[in-house]
Amino acid sequence: MPAIIFDCDGVLADTERDGHLPAFNQTFEEFSVPVQWSDSDYALRVKTGGGKERMRSILTPEVATALGLPQGDPVALDEAVARWHRRKTAIYTERVASGALPARPGIRRLVAQAEAAGWTLAVASTSAEESVRAVLTHAVGPELAAQFQVFAGDIVDRKKPAPDIYLHALRELGIGPADAVVVEDSANGLRSALAAGLRTVITVSGYTADEDFTGASLVVSSLGDPGGPTTVTLVDTLGLEPEFFVDLPDFVAILTTPAPDLTAPDLTAPDLENR
């Protein structure tokens, strides 16, 4: 059966501004790290893939000295970051459980349609697995969440826009790229999916609305919900013309279109920062 593979942050819920950012800042405060990220700071930090990688980026010689960390010992620095990240994940998971991060419009509706039709459901994210599972369960409910395969955390070496996380998901699901559609929210996520040969729907999120989504099958404001925000179509290269909502038949139509051109220039070039 065909599959839908969802990214987590910005797709299942708009998690960055109201979830990850305050969790990072609370962690820095608890560990006496002399850093607090503003909203504009974090808009740049989200382009770095992985929470530990974002935290590692603040360990300048000045910050390491202030914390009494040995600058010439990368193992000690990595251990400090790992401690911070464990605490940050716990804070973030608590925020998810509190209901502070509502599901994005249309997620539960589309997942219910796909599950009823027998589609394979998966999440592919390089965020911590505990965080991803918490967001997934809150977004779609425990019964639907149990139908998902989750590929998350440090299971691949290279983060998005490298295709590794999606190639890993395809291998584990036992399917080829012709049988899956990805739902992403960022340009780096799109490049990751395209480089794996996957057709991609973009639902823009708080930090990504102005990014370049060339190559996406469809770009929308959200999947839309009856009685809630409806879909605003931003790019419709296939002529799908979703009027109010993006539904499962739109994904069926996307699967009939040509796959991404894998002979195009390298989509994971160094000038594209990881998310």
The residues annotated with a catalytic role in the active site are 7, 9
Q: Provide φ and ψ at 161, rounded to 5°.
A: -90, 5
Q: Are strands 218-220 and 233-235 parallel, antiparallel or unpaired?
A: antiparallel
Q: Which of 171, 207, 170, 208 is nearest to 190 (CA)?
A: 208
Per the DSSP assignment, residues forming a β-bridge with 219 are: 202, 235
| Alpha-carbon distances, residue 73 vs 59, 68, 82, 84, 241 (angstroms) | 12, 12, 14, 17, 56
Two structure tokens written together for 76: 């000690």
Distance between CA 46 and CA 16 in Å, rounded? 8
